[in-house]
């Protein structure tokens, strides 16, 4: 006898087992998601930390250069300092766009499969 009962709500569905999580973690789909994340995050992290360390090192050891006036009371150190903030916001914006385009669809597909929606 068939019933037209609605599918179980999210709260009523059982959670995936540890074996299912392990299986997904070993899948090629999950490996591709990790690779996509790492290929974006690691190089940008290294670049930003290098840029920050350059700023700190120049501030400590190249005071003459950093004190060079560019116009008015604006010197190289001030411009580099402001550039640190700009760089931070640009990286955050870029990552947000990258994640929405590349990472989120892959993660959503894995999540849907794990929750039984696919």
Which region among 11-25, 72-86, 93-107 has the lowest average model confidence (pLDDT)? 11-25
Residue with the two structure tokens 């696919």 = 118
The domain segmentation of the chain, as residue ranges, is 27-114
| CA dihedral (111, 113, 115, 118) positive or negative | positive
Residue 43 has pLDDT above 70, yes or no: yes
Residue % of the chain over a pLDDT of 70: 86
Q: Look up residue 34 and give its two tokens.
A: 């990790």
What is the pLDDT of the chain when averaged over all its residues?
88
Rounded to two decimals, what is the model's pTM? 0.74
**What one-character DSSP code corresponds to residue 13?**
S
Return the pLDDT at 57: 96
């Amino acid at each position: 006898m068939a019933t037209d009962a609605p599918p179980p709500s999210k709260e009523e569905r059982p959670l995936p087992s540890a074996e299912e999580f392990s299986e997904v973690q070993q899948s090629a789909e999950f490996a591709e998601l990790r690779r996509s994340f790492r290929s974006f995050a690691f190089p940008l992290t290294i670049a930003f930390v290098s840029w920050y360390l350059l700023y700190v090192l120049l501030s400590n050891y190249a005071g003459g250069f950093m004190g060079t006036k560019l116009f008015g009371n604006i010197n190289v150190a001030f411009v580099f300092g402001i550039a640190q903030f700009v760089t931070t916001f640009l990286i955050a914006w870029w990552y947000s766009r990258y994640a929405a385009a590349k990472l989120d669809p892959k993660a959503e597909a894995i999540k849907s499969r794990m929750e039984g929606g696919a």
